[in-house]
């Protein structure tokens, strides 16, 4: 277990061995700089949590304090994993663990690289703190963080005025109870929404090229933490908005997107490697479109066009069909096909049975056989019968 050492009893032979090693110069030598840098970072984190800008400034650059001070932090701390001397200074690798108060059930772990200088009297101080190589940015890396609290949400933005963030909070506050009515209340019923300045900012948060998310209004990520119990839900879900794609949506579209992403947060604990994307994305769209009054043809325009041209899909969408780099038309048809499959289950077997089916698939030990077993146990049908029924449903609803 990380951070613990097991104590062992030392017998006569062990003691003699330890004494002989001691006579040869003791245990492995450690660089005192690592311990000194750790102490500086400990003071830096304590000053941030204590809202003491003066003490923070004594540890080095103040830029991060200004950017971070609006973030409601329950914990924040570094663990130095390595220090490399660089002339008069040093570069430190560190694991940063932080937790947003009231939202994160366990700390989020991120890798950081810090550069440090040294004063004439030998004191270390931080000159820069940035994401480690191949690690995504944090929102404060992109500028000062503005925080807006809703009844069920925390919206964090960089480069967006508080008034703009409040619009997201209003939508999120409608999304949370809507999801709870359909899925149930056995989840946190709170969401954190990140609003970067641009598509490029969104991609930087996710650690991927911007082209991956062009045209995608939002995604939900589940942060991973070593402190979270094995098999538990992600301790820190984030809904990350692409402000460029989101801005072109109408009011209804914005609400559908936020409700869709909130569904992913709610279902996280029951979504596993056994869950196909047609089910996870289709279910999120099913809740997103509930009570909106949108007809199937309005909600599934690309698939409607395909059906009108005589192209009824032969099979449910595969996971590969949901790739963000797929052809936009094919991607839209994949989402629409998954939505219609979930809508069909709700229409034919009822909403409660749809939720039970989702949970049953996720509870399976692996992908193979998961859908088939849940179809038999929950819906009393087979994969072949289900697919045939879905194809007829698509034709009836969109034809």
Identify the CA nearest to 62 among candidates 156, 161, 144, 123. 144
**For the segment 246-263, what is each residue's pLDDT rounded down to a tens digit?**
999 999 999 999 999 999
Task: Return the pLDDT at 30.
Answer: 64
More confident call, 31 vs 128: 128
Domains of the chain, start order: 32-135 (3.10.450.50), 138-266 (3.40.30), 271-399 (no CATH)
Task: Return the pLDDT at 11.
Answer: 35
**For the segment 284-322, what is each residue's pLDDT rounded down to a tens digit?**
999 999 999 999 999 999 999 999 999 999 999 999 999
**For the segment 335-353, what is each residue's pLDDT rounded down to a tens digit?**
999 999 999 999 999 999 9
Does 168 score more than 50 pLDDT? yes
Task: Return the pLDDT at 222.
Answer: 79
3-state helix, strand, coil in the chain (%, to 5): 50, 20, 35
**In terms of C-beta distances under 8 Å and separation of at least 24 residues, what long-range contacts does 157-163 make, across chains too?**
157/194, 157/195, 157/196, 158/195, 158/196, 158/197, 158/201, 159/196, 159/197, 159/198, 159/201, 160/195, 160/197, 160/243
Q: How far apart are CA 256 and CA 248, in angstroms?
A: 14
The rounded mean pLDDT for the chain is 90
**For the segment 31-75, what is each residue's pLDDT rounded down to a tens digit?**
789 999 999 999 999 999 999 999 999 999 999 999 999 999 999
Task: Return the pLDDT at 340.
Answer: 98
- Mean pLDDT over 134-163 rounds to 96
Backbone angles phi, psi at 19, to 5 degrees: -65, -40
Does 120 score more than 80 pLDDT? yes
Does 224 score more than 90 pLDDT? no
Task: Return the pLDDT at 130.
Answer: 97
Task: Return the pLDDT at 2.
Answer: 38
Report which secondary-structure segment, H or E, holds 262. helix 251-267
Does 18 score more than 50 pLDDT? no
- Dihedral sign, Cα of residue 360, residue 365, residue 371, residue 373: negative
Task: Return the pLDDT at 170.
Answer: 98
Q: Residue 146 in 3-state DSSP? A: strand
Task: Return the pLDDT at 32.
Answer: 87
DSSP E strand stretches across 119-190: 124-131, 145-149, 153-158
- Mean pLDDT over 223-244 rounds to 66
Does 226 score more than 50 pLDDT? no
- Mean pLDDT over 95-122 rounds to 94
- Mean pLDDT over 355-362 rounds to 98
- Mean pLDDT over 118-129 rounds to 95
pTM of the entire predicted model: 0.88
26-35, 172-181, 206-215, 359-368: segment of lowest average pLDDT? 26-35
Task: Return the pLDDT at 325.
Answer: 77
Binned at pLDDT 50, 70 and 90, residue 324 comes out as confident
More confident call, 327 vs 222: 327
Q: What is the DSSP string of 272-320?
A: -TTS-HHHHHHHHHHHHHTTS---HHHH-HHHHHHHHTT---SSPPPGG
Binned at pLDDT 50, 70 and 90, residue 5 comes out as very low
Percent of the chain clearing pLDDT 70 (strictly above): 89
């Amino acid at each position: 277990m990380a951070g613990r050492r097991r104590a062992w009893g030392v017998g006569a032979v062990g003691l003699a061995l330890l004494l002989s090693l001691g006579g040869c110069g003791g245990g492995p030598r450690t660089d005192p700089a690592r311990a000194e840098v750790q102490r500086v970072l400990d003071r830096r984190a304590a000053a941030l949590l204590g809202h003491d800008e003066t003490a923070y400034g004594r540890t080095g650059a103040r830029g991060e304090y200004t950017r971070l001070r609006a973030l409601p932090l329950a914990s924040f701390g570094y663990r130095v994993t390595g220090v490399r001397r660089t002339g008069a200074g040093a570069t430190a690798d560190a694991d940063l663990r932080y937790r947003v108060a009231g939202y994160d059930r366990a700390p989020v772990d991120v890798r950081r690289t810090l550069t440090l200088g040294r004063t004439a009297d030998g004191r270390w101080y931080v000159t820069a703190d940035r994401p480690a190589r191949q690690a995504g940015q944090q929102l404060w890396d992109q500028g000062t963080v503005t925080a807006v609290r809703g009844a069920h949400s925390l919206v964090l933005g960089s480069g967006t005025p508080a008034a703009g963030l409040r619009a997201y909070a209003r939508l999120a506050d409608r999304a949370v109870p809507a999801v709870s009515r359909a899925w149930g209340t056995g989840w946190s019923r709170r969401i954190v929404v990140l609003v970067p300045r641009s598509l490029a900012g969104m991609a930087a948060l996710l650690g991927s090229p911007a082209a991956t998310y062009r045209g995608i209004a939002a995604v939900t990520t589940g942060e991973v933490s070593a402190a979270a119990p094995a098999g538990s839900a992600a301790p820190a879900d984030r809904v990350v908005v692409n402000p460029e794609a989101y801005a072109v949506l109408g009011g209804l579209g914005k609400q559908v997107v936020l409700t869709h992403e909130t569904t992913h947060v709610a279902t996280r604990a029951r979504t596993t490697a056994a869950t196909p994307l047609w089910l996870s994305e289709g279910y999120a769209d099913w809740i997103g479109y509930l009570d909106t009054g949108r007809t199937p043809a309005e909600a599934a325009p690309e698939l409607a066009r395909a059906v009108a041209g005589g192209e009824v899909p032969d099979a449910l969408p595969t996971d590969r069909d949901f790739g963000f780099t797929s052809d936009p038309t094919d991607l839209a048809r994949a989402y629409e096909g998954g939505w219609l499959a979930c809508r069909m289950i709700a229409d034919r077997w009822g909403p409660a049975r749809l939720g039970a089916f989702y949970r049953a698939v996720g509870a399976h030990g692996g992908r193979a056989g998961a859908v088939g077993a849940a179809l038999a146990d929950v819906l009393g049908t087979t994969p072949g019968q289900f697919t045939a029924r879905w194809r007829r449903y698509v034709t009836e609803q969109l034809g």
